[in-house]
Amino acid sequence: MRKLQHRSIYILALLVMILVSSCASRERIVYLQNPSAIDATNSKTYESRLQADDLLSIIVNSASPELTKPYNLFMGTVQDRTDVITAQQRLQSYLIDKDGFIDFPKVGKLKLGGLTRTEAEEVIKQKLIQEITDVSISLRILNFKVSVQGEVARPGVHTIMSERITLLEALSMSGDLTVYGRRDNILIIRENDGKKTYNYVDITKADFVNSDFYYLAQNDLVYVEPNKVRVNSSAVGPNVSVVISAISVLASVVSVIVVISR
């Protein structure tokens, strides 16, 4: 009888160890840990830089509309416009070529690739200011987008209207990471001057907000790597390992009940 009791205690202890070892570590799951360690004085500001294949909307503004008319080319007729929003949608857009240039009315080739939006507006303004003394420029990227793939709930391409988005916002738009996604090794593929860079980010560390990848650039690709559980289960099916674990725990519980009832 005493031997059976020792055996049941051993099985219970083994069962507890199995359950404890199956628990996920907090350090691997929680985002932005230890935020008090962040140096607030080191926070980064961000403004996207224009690059090849960016599609731009450029509006030249002035108190004298007749002076801006040659620069604000409409794809439709003026009579078709019903409001300001429709008019802006029908304005001629400008695609930055592979060398960073656009072809702007009356001005010709303008090098905007590599500039921030503010810098590009200033370049255009300086080209027109002698003709239009009160000129102001409104420039927007029409095709600003980021892609999120891998272990997220809703992978896909997201079009961004504000031209500014953080990595966490992009992940939220994709439904957040699944339980199988690695939080400490997220890949961001970014193109700079025609060259792709591969960068890994750990969002469990709060100080990543001061990195160059807290804000995403247009056309960034975010890939969330699967963890070991997902990788291992992929060989035999995503649910088999969970079922096997459940059966093992159930069998252990049954064994304990049988031993104790004797």
Of 145, 220, 155, give the one whose Cα is nearest residue 188.
Answer: 220
- Which of 79, 114, 141 delimits the end of a domain? 141
What is the residue type of 48?
S
Same domain, 165 and 130: no
Tokens of 94: 């400008």
| pLDDT reported for residue 156 | 97
**Angstrom distance (rounded) from CA 211 to CA 195:** 20
| pLDDT at res. 3 | 52
Total domains in the fold of the chain: 3
Give the CATH number of the domain where residue 105 resides. 3.30.1950.10
How far apart are the C-alpha atoms of 107 and 190, rounded to whole Å? Answer: 32
The torsion angle over the Cα atoms of residues 99, 103, 106 and 107, rounded to 10 degrees, is: -20
* C-alpha–C-alpha distance, residues 71 and 92, integer Å: 9
Q: Are residues 208 and 168 in the same domain?
A: yes
pLDDT in tens, 191-214: 887 789 999 999 999 988 988 999
Domain membership of residue 17 as a residue range: 2-26+230-261
Identify whether residues 119 and 248 lie together within a single domain.
no
- Mean pLDDT, consecutive 10-residue stretches, the chain (262 aa), reads 53 53 64 76 77 95 94 68 51 92 96 95 97 96 96 96 92 96 95 89 92 93 92 65 62 61 61
Same domain, 59 and 95: yes
Same structural domain for residues 179 and 167?
A: yes
C-alpha to C-alpha distance for 60 and 68, rounded to whole angstroms: 6
Structure tokens given for 40? 């607030």
d(CA 83, CA 186): 44
Q: Do 38 and 160 reside in the same domain of the chain?
A: yes
What is the pTM for the complete model shown?
0.72
